[in-house]
Amino acid sequence: MNNGLSGPYDIEGADSLHEECGVFGIFGHHGAGALTILGLHALQHRGQEAAGVVSYDQGQFIAERHPGLVGDIFGKNSGYAANLKGDYAIGHNRYSTAGGSAVRNIQPLFADLTGGGITIAHNGNLTNAYALRSKLVQEGAIFQSTSDTEVIIHLTARSSKTQVVDKLIDALKQVEGAYSLVALTSKKMIGVRDPFGVRPLVIGKLDGAPILASETCALDIIGAEYVRDVEPGEVVVFTKGEMESYHPFQKVKPRFCVFEYIYFARPDSMMEGQNVYQVRKNIGEELAREAPAEADLVIPVPDSGVPAALGFSQASGIPFELGIIRNHYVGRTFIEPTDGIRHLGVRRKHNPNRATLNGKRVVLIDDSIVRGTTSKKIVQMVRDAGAAEVHFRVASPPTKHSCFYGVDTPNEHALLAHEMNLEEMAKFIGVDSLAFISTDGLYRAVGEERRNPAAPQFCDACFSGDYPIRIVDADAKESQLSFLVEA
Amino acid sequence: MNNGLSGPYDIEGADSLHEECGVFGIFGHHGAGALTILGLHALQHRGQEAAGVVSYDQGQFIAERHPGLVGDIFGKNSGYAANLKGDYAIGHNRYSTAGGSAVRNIQPLFADLTGGGITIAHNGNLTNAYALRSKLVQEGAIFQSTSDTEVIIHLTARSSKTQVVDKLIDALKQVEGAYSLVALTSKKMIGVRDPFGVRPLVIGKLDGAPILASETCALDIIGAEYVRDVEPGEVVVFTKGEMESYHPFQKVKPRFCVFEYIYFARPDSMMEGQNVYQVRKNIGEELAREAPAEADLVIPVPDSGVPAALGFSQASGIPFELGIIRNHYVGRTFIEPTDGIRHLGVRRKHNPNRATLNGKRVVLIDDSIVRGTTSKKIVQMVRDAGAAEVHFRVASPPTKHSCFYGVDTPNEHALLAHEMNLEEMAKFIGVDSLAFISTDGLYRAVGEERRNPAAPQFCDACFSGDYPIRIVDADAKESQLSFLVEA
Amino acid sequence: MNNGLSGPYDIEGADSLHEECGVFGIFGHHGAGALTILGLHALQHRGQEAAGVVSYDQGQFIAERHPGLVGDIFGKNSGYAANLKGDYAIGHNRYSTAGGSAVRNIQPLFADLTGGGITIAHNGNLTNAYALRSKLVQEGAIFQSTSDTEVIIHLTARSSKTQVVDKLIDALKQVEGAYSLVALTSKKMIGVRDPFGVRPLVIGKLDGAPILASETCALDIIGAEYVRDVEPGEVVVFTKGEMESYHPFQKVKPRFCVFEYIYFARPDSMMEGQNVYQVRKNIGEELAREAPAEADLVIPVPDSGVPAALGFSQASGIPFELGIIRNHYVGRTFIEPTDGIRHLGVRRKHNPNRATLNGKRVVLIDDSIVRGTTSKKIVQMVRDAGAAEVHFRVASPPTKHSCFYGVDTPNEHALLAHEMNLEEMAKFIGVDSLAFISTDGLYRAVGEERRNPAAPQFCDACFSGDYPIRIVDADAKESQLSFLVEA
Amino acid sequence: MNNGLSGPYDIEGADSLHEECGVFGIFGHHGAGALTILGLHALQHRGQEAAGVVSYDQGQFIAERHPGLVGDIFGKNSGYAANLKGDYAIGHNRYSTAGGSAVRNIQPLFADLTGGGITIAHNGNLTNAYALRSKLVQEGAIFQSTSDTEVIIHLTARSSKTQVVDKLIDALKQVEGAYSLVALTSKKMIGVRDPFGVRPLVIGKLDGAPILASETCALDIIGAEYVRDVEPGEVVVFTKGEMESYHPFQKVKPRFCVFEYIYFARPDSMMEGQNVYQVRKNIGEELAREAPAEADLVIPVPDSGVPAALGFSQASGIPFELGIIRNHYVGRTFIEPTDGIRHLGVRRKHNPNRATLNGKRVVLIDDSIVRGTTSKKIVQMVRDAGAAEVHFRVASPPTKHSCFYGVDTPNEHALLAHEMNLEEMAKFIGVDSLAFISTDGLYRAVGEERRNPAAPQFCDACFSGDYPIRIVDADAKESQLSFLVEA
């Protein structure tokens, strides 16, 4: 689990969903490079594999793009932070699957255009990137990465428009998918959200300098002021002293990703006017009403289950306790148990507090169930610690479908809820009772009366299978993107 | 704060107390090196600066001692874990102040004796190490480290006894201070706690193989069974298939460190028969009774204040909320704010959740106040987020005195409670009310009726100034220990 | 000096000329990656800043491109050599000036074309690269490097031809300059020399597998057989089992770089049918005839002056002695003398052998004089060691003009021979007499009767100013190539 | 081969002899650390595995001891050079066999004594170190290294004398073997040569500051003045402004190592009043007289055979040519040929110049034959290049015995000359004729009339088996020195 409460790496946790990116930009403030680094640090939960910052100073763009955590990359001894001179900078945190982890994919990407450079950082996923890429390659474009963001760069470079903002809009009109992006030229910072506004992007301000960030927590870390969210389909362009706003795309009804509330975002962030922590507590309260349990304790799976568990506890009156202790010191490539000791049931990340659990009837709260394997292990661990009963409550509806809009999900056949009904799932993970929040309950927690099936207020495709944006590349495999292999 | 809930590095947190070590040993189990690494990982909260493991295999001791976190040192790519062959191993986590961070100080230390080697890992602090060291140097002993543990090694090597256990006991009879240590020879594993039992040490068992560890959470991680605590003043010696126990020191009334309960230990550990999490909750309940507050929310300073805050909330009925969000992704040498951005009040580690705090009267719970500077910043941060009132409650009595028994504390003149009275402290940190738990309240939380002033049940010298062991080296400075400087 | 006798880095030697590249390729031999590494090792004198190998295996190109020496990059511990699977591979050694040392410039470069990839390694310099690049950028091409080789890649990708060899030829017809290049696709290895054949490229064979290499010494290291030189203007294409040869460019009279004989090539290489060592000895013999000296000893400036000094000694009868000892252990970034010790005249690389030189009249032989500052220091050093007279003989004509065909030369105003006449030069470097070999003497040493002024047999533009290929980019500066700065 | 002409690593050359150390010290000069680094750089040929410098500044000794070459360790980016503050410094280059390569063995070693520290760098080998070490361990001494130098440190620390110089002399009176050592305290620099003076040590001066160094080339590099050699059995003590000299050991007839002239020393060094280059040339001249050959060319095995080959050429009139070209760019851990390409006869280090050798009768000159395997390969290589005849001449007598005085030699049964007679050796290495210089010829080359069998002027034990110092530890194995294994 990777929200604001969580630790560096979830190495036992291939069984969770992963956001693919966080973006940040600041335009016209002393120390822009360092501020961007701090912004990325606050957004670390959105991507832990690599981070990059590109700043602009005196006619040159300066890039530092490296694998690892922000705090490790930009440590005092690296000198990278000091290299990032200038008052303009944008940055990017990257999560990626193993195959696409090459250094050449670390954003922000950069291109020299005639008359100047442009650098782009992107959160989301294009659903027609493969088709566009194939066409571009046929026309002689040379791709350096396998990132879909590079498609946007090439389309921008090839646009027949004369102004860079027009070139970028021209490019974006050709792409489909979910994207929140931040771009920087020597004269402008640009922010864009796709027409459906699937991924978040907010505008902030520090000492008068505009900021773009995936979440408000990246404003808080540097003491910046929140201004407003970028609107779905909006292009905001900052030049010295002013902001222009465009809506160049065809208007559609927004569909913000509801999973941002459930799991991805940091609890202290505000999204579309809602406090994430409060939404999660609301979910817990809804769950307590929808699926009560006779129990002695409410126990969260730390850290992401904590707010919902507090909500459940407050609504049900059953005491909230830390029955599972999480070890946050887990290194990136920590040793795997060898065959000889695997049978021991090594517990590197979570340990049950036997003194709390022993003999107790427990309500266990987690944010979601993906493959189910982790849930099964945690339930077993809680039972081994002496719990008399385990009632599992899940702070999201059953995850039945893959995401194509920027979240790394397994194939739907690997999703427990796609393959089993509730009873089968309860048996599989070994609980006395199992309940998920209802879709309408979830919508209530986010402030809607209920889900509007005719025009859903959110993207909930992972639960409903109702995909707002068509998936052109559905059959394309990433392995076909390049013939080159390089670390 | 560095208990089981906390993140890798507290870089804004020079203003807290630090335990100096965790120790672990396992004797006669396949994969002893890997098991020791896992044990140290579970004990990471006791020391994050460096870690070492020494295993024994086929006539040779193999050492891997490196700076950094266990999970980083023993990552898959390092190969260090694979080097640690053999069925016997001991290990050590180290915390140390900047001056003593040299690689040569990383434990376990090793010595070739005639007929075989011995390796020792030590948690605690000797109070006559400087005096003994000076005498040994005068006699021609050559010290390679500035660690007090090396004094024990030299005394052992110079003992006129013939058996290695007798040599070690001979050495320990000359030292004073707090120590829990684990030693390994080619034939035996030895565990010792000082006569007062200031530092913890427990005995466990895995598939019949004996284990020694600072805390029970290091047993849990590998699925080992808890057997019992090593007794104060006890020497336990494990040879193939059997355990011997000795009590070679003069018997004194034990004085276990009460701060282990308050802050150092992981909440899921059992210490002297008590669950640490439960003790902390008890403290919160006592605090709620001793120092109630009219308030809307109980907010912990994460992560160490959480159990006491839960106890306070349950006893007072005031809702517990996560009003401060902690970012666990803080790198070891993360960039410092430059002058240009320092005024921004950068918040790398903690962020208040404004939506929760705004307009509320808050009870803020922390485990202790050391210098007071962090408390002051947190209070200001909570107020800036809109809290209407801040009532600070501290889960320990005022920390007025330095520790000489293995905890890195500042000079007493740097301790807020040594320099100010309650009213002054409240003003300094800027709260509407301030209260510490009473000493008797603390003792009640740990299961005693009250503190026995004639024969206190615990070492509480940091609160009371009542030092059970004399401080021979009180005037010696670490900087005098060696003329050599080396990274 | 960087010929086969010389050490890793000439850190006191910004005052010498530098070849920019060595190339190697092998097609259809087990262990192609390792063989290419060895070939590059033999060609290390042609470029010490970085090296890269791209191999092809089972549908994928695998790249390892890193800064440093071949032997350091591909050390046992790096694992890079093992990654380079497959039977096809090409490689490149790079020399570059500081500004262009970015990792993104390390060759071979790679591009995904529709239907497959192509990778190219290039030795030489294009003289219209800047103009072509500007045009390509205007058309939307995105450059990832500042290397002129990337221009060839883009032109190839954009060619309207359907076959990859035709595309490459199409591209090369648009470029001007000196180039010897090796390219690899999934089905072919291609070698090309520019129409003037300025840079060398030879064909070899190992167990039937064809090889392309800058020099024959790269064949020798793996025990391969020399077949023939690629002809100026020739394109050779190797497919499984056969070789095709094309001459697609307009035919011109070849102008091989005469400086390859004087300095760049390894003495054991054969170039255009001539043994480099023998040519250098011939030069020394010519020099002895053209500019004899009354002296006791002939002393080479090691290592590049050795063959000419042996020739001079044998022709003149004056004994050859090692009067200057060279230290080959010079690290890449070895400490600079600090201000406090700079006056000491630190001699990291060369030391005079006082016992040999003291009281002697010395003929000092070096391959060339560039800025003259090194010559001046060496002369002073030899005098300080007691030499009675110093007669400086130079194994090349005066270097008066910059090279634009792949050799890193200073601006002509920094060239001593451009700014001074012979007498002034002699005075500047402090010698009793100074002589350069005549241009005709040089041509005789290489086997010609004399230089044919109407149609010179070699490119000797650095001596004559007679540039065979026009310099379209003469006014373009490298710093304008990209707005991006990245290590 | 590792003399002044040679490259970084002789990776194909386990078949040569290796000196174990170079030492350097400077006392009372600004920038002492940097000057020591430069001195060690000049002495790099005496040990390439590791280097260390310890400086003294303001009450503290500062150590930088690392594996690798001086120029790599103390590169600009490491910061190590800058750490070495102060006006006093000593340093050490280390060669070692694989088993003893641990970081803990890198010299100079250091010990805290009562009242101050002492640091020692040592070139040579003690012949009773194992016996002394065992006794010391029995008395409780704790060894941190397996270096024999540490024995000296312990004996010094345990001495009952009160002055540090007396303590050191007291220690040295107990050791046997060959040693040239440099020591530094906070007030004195001390230099010592063993009574036989087996290893070299010279005194120099820079701006009035005294210097100690293994060879004069280390004085030359910093422009320092040569004063005199330390005498066999002499102890020189430098304090501020003055030098004292002691001869505390029993006087014996000196036996300087004659192999220093043949191979170890740099050719530009002066040893005991003789120029090494000149001695080597003399050997070549003697060889030409003792063992003439009908031949067309004299070819050295580069680089160590060059001076003797020049002498042979000048005495015989047969032309000297570079028939074998050496590649100096050989990395430390360069890839080994894999099985698939091993049969190719990869030639990473030496390549024959076929154009020079083809059809010629060749006199091949090398400094020595150890195992004979390298000689065999080189002869084969020269034959493969077309040589008509190969007459091998060796610049030393047959190496029949191991060295115990600081040179890493194989067991005598691995020495070709110990196992075979001349005829067998000629057949083994495949030459038309083979000759070694005679012992008297060697002595003549070094300026003696002949070897005095009653009282040999040099240590020539490796040729004669006449060991001047008894080998107490002959049967002790290094693997018994410590039970600890650590990188």
Of C75, C206, C330, the CB nearest to D334: C75
In chain D, positions 107-166, which contact chain B (CB-CB < 8 Å)? Answer: 110-114, 116-117, 134, 137-144, 153-154, 157-159
In chain C, positions 25-64, which contact chain D (CB-CB < 8 Å)? Answer: 30-31, 34-35, 37-38, 41-42, 44-45, 48
Residues in chain C: 487
CATH top-level class for A274-328+349-464? Answer: alpha beta
Of D8, D45, D355, the CB nearest to C277: D355
In chain B, positions 215-274, which contact chain A (CB-CB < 8 Å)? Answer: 217, 220-223, 266-268, 270
Q: What is the pLDDT of residue C20?
A: 72
Catalytic residue of the set D5, D21, D136, D224? D21
Catalytic residue of the set B5, B21, B218, B442? B21
Q: Per DSSP, what are the bridge partners of residue A192? A: A181, A235
Q: Is the ipTM of this complex over 0.95?
A: no
Q: What is the pLDDT of residue D3?
A: 29
- Please tell me the least confidently modeled range out of A92-96, C325-329, D255-259: A92-96
Residue from D341, D348, D377, D380 whose CB has the most chain C CBs within 10 Å, to mutate = D341
A379, pLDDT greater than 90? yes
- Is A484 within 8 Å of C116 when comparing Cβ atoms? no
End-to-end CA distance of chain C: 27
Q: What is the pLDDT of residue C475?
A: 72
Which of the two residues, C89 and B408, has the higher pLDDT score?
A: C89
Q: What is the pLDDT of residue B11?
A: 28
Q: CB count, 10 Å around CB of B9?
A: 21
Q: Which chains border A (3 or more CB–CB pairs < 8 Å)?
A: B, C
- Is C144 within 8 Å of A144 when comparing Cβ atoms? yes
Q: Residues of A with CB below 8 A from B34's CB?
A: 335, 337-338, 341
User: In this complex, is the C-beta atom of C447 within 8 Å of any C-beta atom belonging to chain D?
Assistant: no
Q: What is the pLDDT of residue B12?
A: 39
Choose among C18, C44, C13, C52: nearest CA to C125: C18
User: In this complex, is the C-beta atom of C346 within 8 Å of any C-beta atom belonging to chain D?
Assistant: yes
For residue B205, the surrounding DSSP H or E stretch is strand B202-206
The yes-or-no answer on residue D21 being catalytic is yes
How crowded is the C-beta side of B172, counted as CA atoms within 13 Å? Answer: 29
Q: How far apart are CA B437 and CA B317, in angstroms?
A: 19
**Distance in Å, alpha carbon of C280 to nearest chain D alpha carbon:** 12
Q: Are residues C347 and C380 in contact, defined by beta-carbon separation less than 8 angstroms?
A: no
- Assign domain C18-255 to its CATH architecture: 4-Layer Sandwich (3.60)
User: In this complex, is the C-beta atom of C341 within 8 Å of any C-beta atom belonging to chain D?
Assistant: yes
User: In this complex, is the C-beta atom of A484 within 8 Å of any C-beta atom belonging to chain C?
Assistant: yes
**Distance in Å, alpha carbon of D407 to nearest chain B alpha carbon:** 27
Q: Residues of B with CB below 8 A from D158's CB?
A: 139-140
pLDDT, chain C, mean:
91
pLDDT, chain A, mean:
91
Q: Residues of C with CB below 8 A from A117's CB?
A: 482-484
Residue from A54, A62, A112 whose CB has the most chain C CBs within 10 Å, to mutate = A112
- Is D355 within 8 Å of C270 when comparing Cβ atoms? yes
- Is B144 within 8 Å of D140 when comparing Cβ atoms? no
Q: Which chains border B (3 or more CB–CB pairs < 8 Å)?
A: A, D
Maximum CA extent, chain D: 72
Q: What is the pLDDT of residue A486?
A: 80
pLDDT band at C4 (very low <50, low <70, confident <90, very high): very low
Choose among D69, D43, D434, D17: nearest CA to D257: D17
Q: Which residue of D has its CA nearest to B481?
A: D112
Q: What is the pLDDT of residue D278?
A: 98
Q: What is the pLDDT of residue D231?
A: 98
Q: What is the pLDDT of residue A260?
A: 96
Of B61, B158, B485, the CB nearest to D485: B61
Chains B and C touch (3+ CB pairs under 8 A): no
- Is D348 within 8 Å of C268 when comparing Cβ atoms? no
Q: What is the pLDDT of residue C187?
A: 96
Fold of D275-328+348-464: Rossmann fold (3.40.50)
Q: Which residue of B has its CA nearest to D185?
A: B483
The pLDDT tens digits of the residues spanning A255-266 come to 999 999 999 999
Fold of A18-254: Glutamine Phosphoribosylpyrophosphate, subunit 1, domain 1 (3.60.20)
Give the tokens for residue D153.
Answer: 């440190």
* Residue A171, phi then psi, degrees to nearest 5: -65, -45
Residue from A137, A139, A485 whose CB has the most chain C CBs within 10 Å, to mutate = A485
Question: Three-state SS across chain C?
Answer: CCCCCCCCCCCCCCCCCEECEEEEEEECCCCHHHHHHHHHHHCHHHCCCEEEEEEEECCEEEEEEEECCHHHHCECCCCHHHHCCCCEEEEEEECCCHHHCCHHHCCCEEEEECCEEEEEEEEEEECCHHHHHHHHHHCCCCCCCCCCHHHHHHHHHHCCCCCHHHHHHHHHCCCCEEEEEEEEECCCEEEEECCCCCCCCEEEEECCEEEEECCCHHHHCCCCEEEEECCCCCEEEEECCEEEEECCCCCCCCCEECHHHHHHCCCCCEECCEEHHHHHHHHHHHHHHHCCCCCCEEEECCCCCHHHHHHHHHHHCCCECCCEEECCCCCCCECCCCHHHHCCCCCCCEEECHHHHCCCEEEEEECCCCCCHHHHHHHHHHHHCCCCEEEEEECCCCCCCCCCCCEECCCHHHCHHHHCCHHHHHHHHCCCEEEECCHHHHHHHCCCCCCCCCCCCEECHHHHCCCCCCCCCCCCCHHHCCCEECC
Q: What is the mean pLDDT of residues B16-21?
A: 68
A479, pLDDT greater than 90? no
- Is C141 within 8 Å of A138 when comparing Cβ atoms? no
pLDDT band at C104 (very low <50, low <70, confident <90, very high): confident
Q: What is the pLDDT of residue A344?
A: 67
User: In this complex, is the C-beta atom of D486 within 8 Å of any C-beta atom belonging to chain B?
Assistant: yes
- Is D38 within 8 Å of C206 when comparing Cβ atoms? no
Q: What is the pLDDT along chain D (487 residues), one digit of tens a residue?
A: 222 222 222 223 446 666 579 999 999 999 999 999 999 999 999 998 899 999 999 999 999 999 988 988 998 777 899 999 999 999 999 986 433 557 888 999 999 998 899 999 999 999 999 999 999 999 999 999 988 999 999 999 999 999 999 999 999 999 999 999 999 999 999 999 999 999 999 999 999 999 999 999 999 999 999 999 999 999 999 999 899 999 999 999 999 999 999 999 999 999 999 999 999 999 999 999 999 999 999 999 999 999 999 999 999 999 999 999 999 886 655 666 665 666 666 778 899 999 999 999 999 999 999 999 999 999 999 999 999 999 999 999 999 999 999 888 889 999 999 999 999 999 999 999 999 999 999 999 999 999 999 999 999 999 999 999 999 887 765 546 788 887 6
CATH of C277-329+347-451, one of 3.40.50.2020, 3.20.20.10, 3.30.750.210, 3.30.930.10: 3.40.50.2020
Binding residues of D for Mg(2+): 304, 366-367
Residues in chain B: 487
Q: What is the pLDDT of residue B37?
A: 96
Residues in chain D: 487
Of C72, C345, C355, the CB nearest to D278: C355
Residue type, B216: T
Active site residues of C: 21
Q: Residues of B with CB below 8 A from A75's CB?
A: 331-335
Q: Which residue of B has its CA nearest to A352?
A: B268
Which of the two residues, B102 and B255, has the higher pLDDT score?
A: B255
* Residue B149, phi then psi, degrees to nearest 5: -60, -30
CATH top-level class for B275-327+348-448? Answer: alpha beta
Binding residues of D for [4Fe-4S] cluster: 257, 403, 459, 462
A318, pLDDT greater than 90? yes
User: In this complex, is the C-beta atom of A76 within 8 Å of any C-beta atom belonging to chain B?
Assistant: yes
Q: Are residues D315 and D289 in contact, defined by beta-carbon separation less than 8 angstroms?
A: yes
Q: CB count, 10 Å around CB of B317?
A: 8
Of D63, D137, D144, the CB nearest to B484: D63
Residue from B12, B45, B268 whose CB has the most chain A CBs within 10 Å, to mutate = B268
- Please tell me the least confidently modeled range out of B327-331, C133-137, D172-176: B327-331
Active site residues of A: 21
User: In this complex, is the C-beta atom of B358 within 8 Å of any C-beta atom belonging to chain A?
Assistant: no
- Domain range summary for chain C, segments of one domain joined by +: 18-255, 277-329+347-451
Residue type, B115: G
**Distance in Å, alpha carbon of A267 to nearest chain C alpha carbon:** 36
